[in-house]
Structure 1
Amino acid sequence: MNTLTEERTSAQGRGRFRSAARRTPGRPSIVCGAALLLALAGAAVLGPLLWPYDHVAQDRTAMLVPPGGEHWLGTSRLGEDLLAQCLQGLRKSLVIGLLVAVLSTTLSAAVGLAAGYLGRWVDRCLMWGVDMLLILPPFLVAAVLSPLLRERSWLYMVLVLALFQWMLTARVVRARTVALRQREFVTAAHHMGAPTLWIMRRHLLPHLVPLLVIDCTLHVGAAILGEAGLSYFGFGIQPPDVSLGTLVATGSGSALTYPWAFLAPVGFLVVTVSAVGLLGEGLRRALEEGRGGSNED
C-alpha cells in the first residue's frame, strides 16, 4: 500500500510535467526567453575568452571612443573596452542571480513545508518570522549592512539579497501544503508511521516542484535587478570587480554627453531581465494549462 501511494503521487507529478511540457514548444515567450537567456549565458562564459580585450585593460589613447569596428560598443572614460566590461559584468550578475534564486527558493520551500505540515507552534513561530521580515525595508537593511560587508566577499551580498526574497513564496508553499496534508495519500502515509521528513520529501514536495521552479526562475531577474540597484548606489559589488549595476553607475555620469557608456550596460541589463521574465511567465502559463488538463483527465 505504501508503494502504491508513492507511485500514485509520482504519477500525478509526472502527469503535470508532461502536460506542461507538451505546451512548452508552442509558447513563443518560453522559446524567446530561453533562447535569449542561453545566448546571454554563452556570451558571458565564452565572450571574455574570445574577445581580444580584457575588461580591466585601459587604453589612454582610446578614451570615450564611440562604437565602431575596433570597439563594438565603444570605450569608457578610462579607455576600457565596454563590450569586455559588459560581458564580465553580465557573468557576475547572472551568477549572483542564480545563487540568490536557488537560496531563496530553497529557504521558502523548507519554511513553507515545515509550517504547513507541522502546524501548531511551529507554524506560528515561522509565520511570525516571515511577517517580521516582510515589514523590514530590504534596501535600508542592505545600506546599514554595507559598511560591514564592504571589505568582504560579494557572497555576503548574495546572502543579504536571498534573505529578503523568500517570504511571499513561503506563504504560498505553506498554503499549498495545508491543502495537501488533507489528501488521502498523505493521511495514509502518516497513519502507517512514515517519518515526517519522508512524507514531506516524497509526497508533498513533488506537488510543489512546479511552483518552486517558476519561483526560482522569476527570482533570477529580481535578484539581478536588486544587485544592480545596490551596486548603483555603492552598496553592492565593489571595484575592481564589475557587474552590470556598477557599469550603469559608472556610465550614468556620461549618459548625455557620451551615451554609449551608459546605454551599453543598460541594454544588457534590460535584455537579461526581460529574457528571464519571458521564460518565467511562459512556464507559469504552461503549468496552469497543464494543471487544468491533468484535472480534466
Structure 2
Amino acid sequence: MRPDVTPDAVLATGPGPAAGPQAAPAPEDRYLGRGRLYLRRFLRNRLAVTGSLIFVLLVLFSALGGLFTPYAHSDADFAALTQPPSAEHWFGTNQGGNDIYAATVHGLQRSLVIAVSVSLLTVVVAAVVGAGAAYLGGRVEKATLATIHFLLIVPSFLILALVSHRLAGDWRALILVLTLFGWMSTARVVWSVSTSLRERDYVRAAEYMGVHPLRIVVRHIIPNLGSLLIVNLTLGVVSTVLSETALSFLGFGVQTPDVSLGTLLADGAGTITSAPWLFAFPAGLTVLLTVSMTFVGDGLRDALDPTSTTGAAGGRR
C-alpha cells in the first residue's frame, strides 16, 4: 500500500451498489445526486406516489382520527345497538353498542404498529444473519442455511396460531412470534446477494487491516444491500398485515378488549347481509393499506434499481 494512501481512503472506495450489471447513466443523471435521482425516479411512478399519499393518510387517520369522536373503542352505547352509520356514530355500532369508527381507528393503529414493527425487525434479523453467514462461510454458513431451510418447510402458520393463542393474544407477543417466523425468506435472499459482495476489494482491504468481522458485515456489506432491504421492508408491511389479519380473523391474534383490523373483520363477517357496515369499513381500510404499500414497494424497487431508466431524460415514464 502506498504511504500516501490511508486506510480510510481505501475503505471509502468500498460500499457501492449491489453486484450486477449497471446501465450507464444518462448525461443529465450525472449532475444529480444519488438521493435526488432515486427521488426523481420514484416521483415519476404515479402509482407509487398515489400509494405513498394513501399510506400517509392512513397513518394520520390512525393517529388523529380518535380526536373526532367522543367514544373510545371499548365504550358501549346501549341505546344504539347494531345501528347503521349516523351523525352520532359515523361508521355505525356493533351488537354491543361499540362505536365502529372508534374501533376502526384503534384497530388500524394496532395493525400498523404490529406490521411496521415486525417488518423492521425481520429485515434487521435477516440482514445480520444472511450477510454474516455469507461473509463467515464454512461451517457457520452451512449451519445457518440448514436452519433457514428447515424453518422454511415448517408449517409456521400453525405454530403461529398455537403460540399466539397460548400468549392470550398480547399484541407485543404477537410481534415477537411473527418476527421469529418471518425472517427466513429475506435472509436467504440476503445471503445469496452477499456471497458476491464478500469478494469485493473493499472487503478484502478491511480484512487486511484487521477490521473485526462484525464491523465488516455491518459497515461494508449490509449498506450495499440497502435497496434490497428497503424494498423488503416495505413489502414486509403488506405480508405482516395479511398474517396478523388472518390470525386475528381466526381468533388466534389480537384478543378483546383490544382490537385490530383482523378482529373487526372477524366480528363483521357473520353480519355482512344484516349489518354490512361492520365488515365494510375495516375491509376497506385493509385493502387500502395493503394496496398502497404494494404500490410503494414496486415504486421503490424501480427507483433503486441501478439498471432502471426511470427518471432519466428520455427514459420510460
Q: Is 1:105 matched up with 2:110?
A: no
The equivalent residue for 2:24 is none
Cα offset, 1:68, TM superposition: 2.9
Cα offset, 1:10, TM superposition: 4.8
Cα offset, 1:262, TM superposition: 1.1
The equivalent residue for 1:50 is 68
Structure 1: tracts of 5 or more residues without a match: none
The equivalent residue for 1:9 is 14
Cα offset, 1:65, TM superposition: 1.6
* Residue type of the alignment partner of 1:85: A
Aligned mates of 1:70, 1:183 — CA distance in 2: 64
Residues 112-191 of structure 1 correspond to what in structure 2 (within 5 A)? 112-150=130-168, 153-191=170-208
Question: Does the Cα contact within 8 Å between 2:161 and 2:253 map onto a contact in 1?
Answer: no
Question: Does the Cα contact within 8 Å between 1:104 and 1:165 map onto a contact in 2?
Answer: yes
Aligned mates of 2:36, 2:194 — CA distance in 1: 22
Cα offset, 1:147, TM superposition: 4.0
The equivalent residue for 2:315 is none
1:204-245, CA deviations, whole angstroms, 9 ceiling, x for partnerless residues? 121112211111111111111111110111111111000000
Q: Is 1:90 matched up with 2:108?
A: yes
> CA, structure 1 residues 20+117, in 2 after alignment: closer, same or farther (shift >3 Å)?
same
Aligned mates of 1:281, 1:165 — CA distance in 2: 20
Deviates further, 73-82 or 126-135: 73-82
Question: Does the Cα contact within 8 Å between 1:112 and 1:173 map onto a contact in 2?
Answer: yes
Aligned mates of 1:140, 1:12 — CA distance in 2: 39
Aligned mates of 1:155, 1:238 — CA distance in 2: 12
**TM-score, length of structure 1 as denominator length:** 0.92
The equivalent residue for 1:26 is 44
The equivalent residue for 1:78 is 96
Structure 2: tracts of 5 or more residues without a match: 1-5, 19-31, 313-317
Aligned mates of 1:136, 1:246 — CA distance in 2: 26
Aligned mates of 1:11, 1:125 — CA distance in 2: 29
1:57-92, CA deviations, whole angstroms, 9 ceiling, x for partnerless residues? 111221122123332222112221111110000000
The equivalent residue for 1:37 is 55
Deviates further, 194-203 or 230-239: 194-203
Determine which structure has the larger helix proportion and give its number: 1
Question: Does the Cα contact within 8 Å between 1:6 and 1:202 map onto a contact in 2?
Answer: no
Deviates further, 71-80 or 264-273: 71-80
Aligned mates of 1:17, 1:118 — CA distance in 2: 31
Aligned mates of 1:282, 1:77 — CA distance in 2: 42
Cα offset, 1:146, TM superposition: 3.5
CA RMSD after TM alignment: 2.1
The equivalent residue for 1:270 is 287
Aligned mates of 2:133, 2:17 — CA distance in 1: 24
Q: Is 1:249 matched up with 2:254?
A: no
Deviates further, 165-174 or 1-10: 1-10
Cα offset, 1:285, TM superposition: 1.4
* Residue type of the alignment partner of 1:109: A
Q: How many residue pairs end up in the alignment?
A: 293
Deviates further, 62-71 or 199-208: 62-71
Q: Percent identity?
A: 39
Residues 196-207 of structure 1 correspond to what in structure 2 (within 5 A)? 196-207=213-224
Question: Does the Cα contact within 8 Å between 2:76 and 2:97 map onto a contact in 1?
Answer: yes
Aligned mates of 1:60, 1:221 — CA distance in 2: 36
Deviates further, 155-164 or 228-237: 155-164
> CA, structure 1 residues 67+147, in 2 after alignment: closer, same or farther (shift >3 Å)?
closer
**TM-score, length of structure 2 as denominator length:** 0.87
Question: Does the Cα contact within 8 Å between 2:162 and 2:252 map onto a contact in 1?
Answer: no
1:260-287, CA deviations, whole angstroms, 9 ceiling, x for partnerless residues? 1111111111111111111111101111
